[in-house]
């Protein structure tokens, strides 16, 4: 039997002024897919003929340009046509991509694939739990497996669940059905982490649904709140071979999310950016301990779609005359260009803030010493470490997260040298969270602001919670 695999993976804040272009994608082609550690699950299909096509992945950001999407889509469909006939297709997706001028981009990608492979081919996809699943997507898929953890520590397990469903269908000849029940609740990931209640218990219950007769895989998708699209919503998506049980199970899961809607809140302490910075500086212990105060600048988090170039936190820290603080990091290509020209040890006036998108936030100029330069083959990957006042800041020529210890090790920084870390993040990564004391979530401004009312959704179907509070909903009415 012949199986093709491909996909496109990014999430797009429609509130971001920064477009995602073709060169923002990391593209794997052909045998680069099974050779990549991210696709270890393909080994489960070793006794099938697997035809790897193309997979494109980009850091979350603003809407994907129409030109970039069309090039990637055309390459995918051309490869898919060349691979025919196919018995199966595995698509590794995210589920919250927005393309300029196109609603429901994954719906377009998946339905186009269905047109090519025909009605008999089994199509299974893996998704991020922050994906938005439209009726069009559900209609064209035979199976779906989504992450069950946020932060996402079950990526490989999710890929395995997806390819095993595909394998099961092809080996047994039993074609699964997929049921979707949308839930009019749309919350940010920072209020729905599976580290906290009620999401912890709701997601812990999903394997029990998998064990029901007639059910293959049960999913609960939070949806992506920063996409102002008609499909944006939470949803229960269930795959199985008993259509009636699939529908009952999806409705039960959907109902559990709806009934818990008032319980969702931010896990860590939270407040304004300035308030969180003041609290961290007041409460953090001395440098050199086994804990460090961490402030998450959530509104500019690049892994959620934030631009990553806002200088709000740096400006506040300078005003507070902070000492012993590491800020990682700020996208500031103009500043990086200047410090690479100046060299290590030089002192320069550096522009910081709103360098990727003029409207993303405030700008400032700092007097800084160049502490360290981190060269790269591609100048767009260069980084620099500067010191200004009592603050050490990591600057990048391009937007990137600093959510893991190896990100800091790469630029030669150790947390033990600091009292406080400020990082552009939402919920902290599993590496940083155990080190945080205190742990503070700053409800800062940006393209992925937690203030849903200020964002001004115009296209998400109303009513939806929490934008609307007083309305009734029943799972069976979807």
Q: Give the pLDDT confidence score for residue 360 in this predicted structure.
A: 85
Q: Give the pLDDT confidence score for residue 455 in this predicted structure.
A: 87
Q: Give the pLDDT confidence score for residue 359 in this predicted structure.
A: 86
- Whether the per-residue pLDDT at 478 is higher than 60: the answer is no
Average pLDDT over every residue of 297-314: 97
Question: Which element (helix H / strand E) includes 42?
Answer: none
What confidence tens digit (pLDDT) does each residue in 339-376 have? 999 999 999 999 999 999 988 889 999 999 999 999 99
**Cα–Cα distance for residue pair 53/77, rounded to 1 Å:** 9
Structure tokens at 359: 């409207």
Structure tokens at 330: 């700020």
Say if residues 92 and 159 touch (Cβ distance below 8 Å).
yes
Average pLDDT over every residue of 113-129: 98
What confidence tens digit (pLDDT) does each residue in 148-199 have? 999 999 999 999 999 999 999 999 999 999 999 999 999 999 999 999 999 9
Average pLDDT over every residue of 440-463: 93
Average pLDDT over every residue of 269-287: 97
Which residue in 171, 176, 177 sits closest to 3, CA to CA? 171
| Bridge pairing between strands 143-146 and 49-58 | unpaired
What confidence tens digit (pLDDT) does each residue in 74-99 have? 999 999 999 999 999 999 999 999 99
Q: Give the pLDDT confidence score for residue 453 in this predicted structure.
A: 84
Structure tokens at 337: 């260009």
Q: What is the side-by-side strand order in the sheet with 234-240?
A: 177-183, 234-240, 215-221
**Cα–Cα distance for residue pair 264/271, rounded to 1 Å:** 16
Average pLDDT over every residue of 234-256: 98
Q: What is the side-by-side strand order in the sheet with 347-352?
A: 269-271, 436-442, 292-297, 420-423, 323-331, 390-396, 383-388, 364-374, 347-352
Say if residues 166 and 3 touch (Cβ distance below 8 Å).
yes
Token match 């009636």: residue?
244
Average pLDDT over every residue of 195-224: 98
Which pTM value belongs to this model? 0.96
Q: What is the side-by-side strand order in the sheet with 122-127?
A: 25-29, 49-58, 2-9, 88-92, 122-127, 143-146
What pLDDT band is residue 123 in, cutting at 50, 70 and 90? very high
Question: Which element (helix H / strand E) includes 318?
Answer: helix 312-319
Say if residues 166 and 122 touch (Cβ distance below 8 Å).
yes
Structure tokens at 153: 């520590």
- Whether the per-residue pLDDT at 322 is higher than 60: the answer is yes
Structure tokens at 353: 């803030």
At residue 78, φ and ψ (nearest 5 deg) are -65, -45
Q: Give the pLDDT confidence score for residue 454 in this predicted structure.
A: 86
- Give percent above pLDDT 70 in the chain: 100
What pLDDT band is residue 417 in, cutting at 50, 70 and 90? very high
Rounded to the nearest integer, the mean pLDDT of the chain is: 96
**Nearest 10 degrees: Cα torsion 98, 102, 104, 108:** -120
Average pLDDT over every residue of 213-240: 98
DSSP labels, 90-135: EEE--SB--BTTBS-HHHHHHHHHHHHH-TTSEEEEEE-TT----H
- Counting Cα atoms < 13 Å in the Cβ hemisphere of 272 gives 5
- Whether the per-residue pLDDT at 231 is higher than 90: the answer is yes
- Give percent above pLDDT 90 in the chain: 97
Q: Give the pLDDT confidence score for residue 477 in this predicted structure.
A: 65
Say if residues 60 and 30 touch (Cβ distance below 8 Å).
no
């Amino acid at each position: 039997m012949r199986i093709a695999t491909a996909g496109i993976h990014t999430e797009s804040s429609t509130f971001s002024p920064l477009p995602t272009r073709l060169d923002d994608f990391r593209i794997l082609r052909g045998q680069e897919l099974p050779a990549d550690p991210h696709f270890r699950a393909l080994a489960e299909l070793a006794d099938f003929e697997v035809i790897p096509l193309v997979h494109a992945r980009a850091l979350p950001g603003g809407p994907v340009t129409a030109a970039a999407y069309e090039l990637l889509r055309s390459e995918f469909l051309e490869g898919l046509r060349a691979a025919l006939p196919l018995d199966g297709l595995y698509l590794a997706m995210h589920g919250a991509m927005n393309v300029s001028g196109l609603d429901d981009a994954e719906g377009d990608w998946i339905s186009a694939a269905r047109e090519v492979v025909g009605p008999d081919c089994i199509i299974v996809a893996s998704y991020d739990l922050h994906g938005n699943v439209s009726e069009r997507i559900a209609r064209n898929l035979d199976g779906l497996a989504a992450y069950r953890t946020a932060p996402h520590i079950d990526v490989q397990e999710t890929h395995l669940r997806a390819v095993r469903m595909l394998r099961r269908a092809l080996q047994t000849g039993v074609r699964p059905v997929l049921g979707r029940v949308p839930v009019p609740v749309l919350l940010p990931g920072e209020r729905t982490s599976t580290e906290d209640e009620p999401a912890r218990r709701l997601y812990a219950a999903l394997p029990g649904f998998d064990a029901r007769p007639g059910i293959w895989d049960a999913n609960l998708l939070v949806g992506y709140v920063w996409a102002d699209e008609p499909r944006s919503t939470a949803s229960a998506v269930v795959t199985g071979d008993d259509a009636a049980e699939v529908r009952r199970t999806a409705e039960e899961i959907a109902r559990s999310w709806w009934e818990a809607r008032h319980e969702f809140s931010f896990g860590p302490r939270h407040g304004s950016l300035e308030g969180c910075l003041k609290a961290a500086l007041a409460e953090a212990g001395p440098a050199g301990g086994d804990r460090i105060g961490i402030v998450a600048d959530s509104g500019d988090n690049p892994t959620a779609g934030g631009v990553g170039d806002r200088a709000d936190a740096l400006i506040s820290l300078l005003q507070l005359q902070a000492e012993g603080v590491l800020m990682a990091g700020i996208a500031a290509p103009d500043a990086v260009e200047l410090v690479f020209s100046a060299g290590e040890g030089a002192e320069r006036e550096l522009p910081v803030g709103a360098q990727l998108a003029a409207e993303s936030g405030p700008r400032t100029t700092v007097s800084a010493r160049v502490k360290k330069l981190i060269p790269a083959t591609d100048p767009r990957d260069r980084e620099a470490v500067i010191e200004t006042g009592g603050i050490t800041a990591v600057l990048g020529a391009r937007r990137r997260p600093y959510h893991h210890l190896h990100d800091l090790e790469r630029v030669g920084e150790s947390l033990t040298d600091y009292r406080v870390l400020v990082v552009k993040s939402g919920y902290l990564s599993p590496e940083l969270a155990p080190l945080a004391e205190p742990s503070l979530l700053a409800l800062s401004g940006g393209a992925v602001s937690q203030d849903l009312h200020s964002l001004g959704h115009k296209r998400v179907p109303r009513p939806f919670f929490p934008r609307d509070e007083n309305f009734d909903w029943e799972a069976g009415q979807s």
